[in-house]
Amino acid sequence: GAVVSQHPSWVICKSGTSVKIECRSLDFQATTMFWYRQFPKQSLMLMATSNEGSKATYEQGVEKDKFLINHASLTLSTLTVTSAHPEDSSFYICSAAGLAGGSSYNEQFFGPGTRLTVL
Amino acid sequence: KNEVEQSPQNLTAQEGEFITINCSYSVGISALHWLQQHPGGGIVSLFMLSSGKKKHGRLIATINIQEKHSSLHITASHPRDSAVYICAIRPQGNLIFGKGTKLSVKP
C-alpha cells in the first residue's frame, strides 16, 4: 500500500517552545491531508483538514493559531504546535488521501504518528 | 451516544482461535473502514467497505448496511495479530472513529 511518513516519530520539548511535525506522502500525491490527535485509550480526533495550497479547515475547539498547518505541496504537510504546554502532550497522526497504486478512487493512508511530550 | 460503537473493548484469545470484533453505527454512511493500530501507534488500513464482504489473508470483513453493523473476523489468530482494531465510518466527508478493540493473542 501507499506510504505516509512522519517526522519526528517522537519529540520531547520544554513548555513554551514550538514543535514542527512533518507528514509526507512518499509514493503518491495527496490532495488532502488530515491531522489527528489521540490521547491514551481514546479514539482519534480530527484536528484539521488541509488541501494543497489552501488554508486548513479546523475542527471546532482546535485553535488555529496554536496548531499551524501548512500544506505546501502535494506530498508535504506540516503541523507546528506553537508555545507548547504539557496539556498538548499527545500522539499526533497525519493521514493523506489521494489516488495511489493505480486506484480509481481516493484512499486514505495513515502515518506512523508522532508522540509529543511537553515537559 | 457515540456514532460508532465497538465491542468488545478488550479481547484476549489463545493462538489459533477465531476472533470476531463488532462495529455498530447510527448514521448513514458512504463507507466503513477497519484499521489496525500497533502498540507503537502506527495505523494500517485493513479494509474499506461499502457493502458485502471482503477477505484478505486471514482477515474477513463484512458489513450489513441495513442493520448498520460490520464485523471483522480473524481466522487462526496469531500473537502478531495483537493490536487495537479500529472501526471508522465515513458519513459524508471525514472519518469518525470508534474507540477501538484491544486484542491480545496469547501463544
pLDDT tens string, chain A, 119 residues long: the values are: 668 999 999 999 999 999 999 999 998 888 899 999 999 888 899 999 998 878 899 999 999 999 999 988 889 999 999 999 999 999 999 999 887 666 666 778 899 999 999 99
**Which among A41, A109, A113 has the least Cβ separation from residue B41?**
A113
A62 close contact with B: CB closer than 8 A: no
Do residue A44 and residue B86 have CB atoms under 8 angstroms apart? yes
B65 close contact with A: CB closer than 8 A: no
A115 close contact with B: CB closer than 8 A: yes
- Residue A79 C-alpha, separation from nearest chain B C-alpha, in angstroms: 18
Mean pLDDT of chain B: 93
A99 close contact with B: CB closer than 8 A: no
**Averaged over B1-28, what is the pLDDT?**
94
Per-residue confidence band for B1, with pLDDT thresholds at 50, 70 and 90: low
Do residue A110 and residue B97 have CB atoms under 8 angstroms apart? no
The pLDDT value given to residue A101: 62
Q: Which stretches does DSSP call E strand in chain B?
A: 4-7, 10-14, 19-25, 31-37, 43-49, 52-56, 59-64, 69-74, 83-90, 96-97, 101-106
Rounded to 5°, angle at Cα A35 from B69 and B9: 35
Cα–Cα distance for residue pair B104/A96, rounded to 1 Å: 29
The pLDDT value given to residue A114: 95
CB pairs under 8 A between A and B: 43
The pLDDT value given to residue A103: 61
Nearest CA in chain B to A105: B48
Residue B18 has pLDDT above 90, yes or no: yes
The pLDDT value given to residue B41: 82
Residue found under cell 489527528: A36
A108 close contact with B: CB closer than 8 A: yes
